[in-house]
Amino acid sequence: MQELTHYINGAHVKGESGRFSDVFNPATGEVQAKTPLATKAEIDAAVAIAAAAQPAWAAVNPQRRARVMMKFADLLNRDMDKLAEALSREHGKTFPDAKGDVVRGLEVVEFCFAAPHFMKGEYTEGAGPAIDMYSMRQPLGVCGGITPFNFPAMIPMWMFAPSLAAGNAFVLKPSERDPSVPLMLAELLEEAGLPKGVFQVVNGDKEAVDALLDNETVQSIGFVGSTPIAQYIYARGCENGKRVQCFGGAKNHMIIMPDADMDQAVDALIGAGYGAAGERCMAISVAVPVGKDTADKLIEKLIPRVESLKIGPYTAGDDVDYGPLVTAAAKERVLGLVDRGVEQGADLVVDGRDFKLQGYENGFFVGACLFDNVTPDMDIYKQEIFGPVLSTVRADSYDDALKLAMDHEYGNGTAIFTRDGDTARDFANRINIGMVGINVPIPVPLAYHTFGGWKKSAFGDLNQCGPDSFKFYTRTKTVTARWPSGIKEGGEFHFKAMD
């Protein structure tokens, strides 16, 4: 049995608590490793090391820090397959999905090549009599990140890449379910030239999270996960005077207008609803066809496509559409919600509850499920399922469809499929959701735009990625300088009196 480690001060370090969390092979259900769960003392020690290393790193000029990011990007490309294989082995997602996880993190690393630009301040000459005024962007110090299991490469890089490029030290608490990739990223950062101690990986559970939140040296906390935990971390972090950004749950609607290209819409729903087994905060989990004819055509085309999805382990390669869920508990939760959907009156037109894969009977696989005639009062509509389950809510009109998305407590992402530019423009302007797709099912912005939801999907004033990332990981200092004016007479300066 492999015993994983923390990564502290440039070295792999065994845990001291004696407590461990199991890391499963989701395809077989077998325990393949154990993750150490850090104590408060271990967290505090890692933070202290980071704090000691940070000033020297901050003193490195932004261009040289950017060069470390450039080298890190080269190493990510070099080890892409190795990282993806480790990610698939612990998470269960297909190998192409795992590579996509790494690539979307890599894109943010590449964005951080522009650190010198984003660290620039502003300057006003002659703001007053002999007065100049300028601002500086400076790093916060030690920053912390708490990341989820579903994107163990991408989301850590979304946090630590801009933080490090801005001159901070960073302590990462990744998901204990699939921690190997974050540990590998730590090794690559050091190989890229990051000084020892500037980046730490400390595995743990709630004790470690609370220790990060309560440690006075930690200046900021980033979090991605469920909304209840996001609210908890945001409240406790803010109470302790930290800068905090937390991203929570989602229930993403895709509206299909009568004029939509139905084949395009179906293709989009298959990928967005069932890709990565639905374990994505940007997954489309609610299809909203407008009008009976639209709904009937959509269901007619969806059923055979959903029934033909191929499910299997990541080792099956490109022949698999999605893999298992991450744990047995995740599987039981998803199946429980599907059962409740049936009990509450939704039509389960594709039932994947009894799916079994020969040779992998103990794996955490869930067959694809498709519901029709779902209503807003049902649990499968209200809750984030985080599994391969798509709910269809029929709407009589565009305004009814719009109201569904706007009234839901989550506001992460949404999409509309239509050929009508006026409808699309109205939708984009009116919808109270943070990320909008027009004929794009999963509207995840590229790295140079910001990522973030509204309502109970996000807590904090600044988003991830894009310019917001450097704003979050820096603070502005404004200097007002006044210098006496001098006139040289007879080889000496004589200074004028100043008002």
Structure tokens at 406: 């706007």
Same domain, 324 and 275: yes
Does 321 map to a domain? yes
Interatomic CA distance for residues 238 and 231, integer angstroms: 11
Pick from 276, 316, 272: nearest CA to 414 = 272
Please tell me what DSSP assigns to residue 496.
P
The answer to the question of residue 78 being in a domain is: yes
Question: Given phi > 0 = left and psi -120 to 50 = alpha, else beta, which region is 147?
Answer: beta
Same domain, 244 and 259: no
Digitized pLDDT (tens) for each residue of the chain, 499 residues in all: 899 999 999 999 999 999 999 999 999 999 999 999 999 999 999 999 999 999 999 999 999 999 999 999 999 999 999 999 999 999 999 999 999 999 999 999 999 999 999 999 999 999 988 899 999 999 999 999 999 999 999 999 999 999 999 999 999 999 999 999 999 999 999 999 999 999 999 999 999 999 999 999 999 999 999 999 999 999 999 999 999 999 999 999 999 999 999 999 999 999 999 999 999 999 999 999 999 999 999 999 999 999 999 999 999 888 899 999 999 999 999 999 999 999 999 999 999 999 999 999 999 999 999 999 999 999 999 999 999 999 999 999 999 999 999 999 999 999 999 999 999 999 999 999 999 999 999 889 999 999 999 999 999 999 999 999 999 999 999 999 998 776 555 656 555 554 4
Say what the pLDDT of residue 422 is: 97
Q: Are 451 and 158 in contact (CB under 8 A)?
A: yes
- Cα–Cα nearest to 245, from 429, 476, 428, 450: 450
Task: Report how far residue 105's alpha carbon sits from residue 121's, in angstroms, rounded to the nearest whole number.
Answer: 27
Reading the block at residue 228, the tokens are: 């209840």
Is 116 within 8 Å of 66 (Cβ atoms)?
A: yes
Q: Is position 310 within any domain?
A: yes
Distance CA 10, CA 468 (A): 29
CB of 405 within 8 A of CB of 253?
yes
**Residue 174, domain member (yes or no):** yes
Of the three residues 388, 411, 438, the one that is the final residue of a domain is 438
In a domain, 30, yes or no: yes
Residue closest to 162 by CA, chosen among 449, 469, 468: 469
Q: Cα–Cα distance between 167 and 157 in angstroms, integer?
A: 15
497 is a domain residue: no
Q: Are residues 360 and 408 in the same domain?
A: yes
Q: Could you give the 3-state DSSP secondary structure of residue 116?
A: helix
For residue 487, being part of any structural domain is answered with no
- Partnered with residue 128 across adjacent β-strands are 131
Q: Are residues 265 and 155 in the same domain?
A: no
| CB 37, CB 15: distance < 8 Å | yes
Q: Is 277 helix (H, G, I), strand (E, B) or coil?
A: helix
Query: Which pLDDT does position 155 carry in this prediction?
Result: 98
Q: What is the CATH number of the domain that holds 176?
A: 3.40.605.10
Statement to judge: residues 106 and 57 lie in one domain? yes
Rounded Cα–Cα distance for residues 458 and 227 (Å): 8
- How far is Cα 335 from Cα 363, in angstroms, rounded to an integer? 14
Same domain, residue pair 256 and 242: no
Tell me: do 87 and 233 sit in the same domain. Answer: yes
* Number of residues in the chain: 499
- Do residues 89 and 48 make contact, with C-beta atoms less than 8 angstroms apart? no
Comparing CA positions, the residue from 477, 404, 405 lying closest to residue 437 is 405
Residue 217 contacts residue 142 (beta carbons within 8 Å): yes
- Please state whether the predicted TM-score (pTM) of the whole model is above 0.85: yes
Active-site annotation holder among 143, 281, 369, 465: 281
| Number of domains observed in the structure of the chain | 2
Tell me the residue range of the domain where 83 lies. Answer: 2-248+457-480
Q: Are 226 and 280 found together in one domain?
A: no
CB 245 within 8 A of CB 462: yes
Look up 281 and say whether it is catalytic: yes
C-alpha 164/C-alpha 36 separation (Å) is: 25
Identify whether residues 78 and 102 lie together within a single domain.
Answer: yes
DSSP per-residue letters across 283-305: -EEEEEEBSHHHHHHHHHHHHHH
Q: Do 236 and 266 lie in a common domain?
A: no
Q: At what angle do helices 40-59 and 206-214 cross, to 10 degrees?
A: 50
Q: Can you say whether residue 344 is alpha, beta or left, with left for phi > 0 and alpha for psi between -120 and 50 degrees?
A: alpha
Same domain, yes or no, for 217 and 105? Answer: yes
- CATH of residue 392's domain is 3.40.309.10
* Token couple for 256: 């299909």
Q: Is residue 445 part of a domain?
A: no
d(CA 28, CA 463): 37
- State whether 204 and 257 are in the same domain: no
Q: Which of 408, 438, 468 is the last residue of a domain?
A: 438
Are the beta carbons of 170 and 200 closer than 8 angstroms? yes
Q: Are 380 and 371 in contact (CB under 8 A)?
A: yes
Angle subtended by helix axes 398-407 and 421-430, to nearest 10: 20
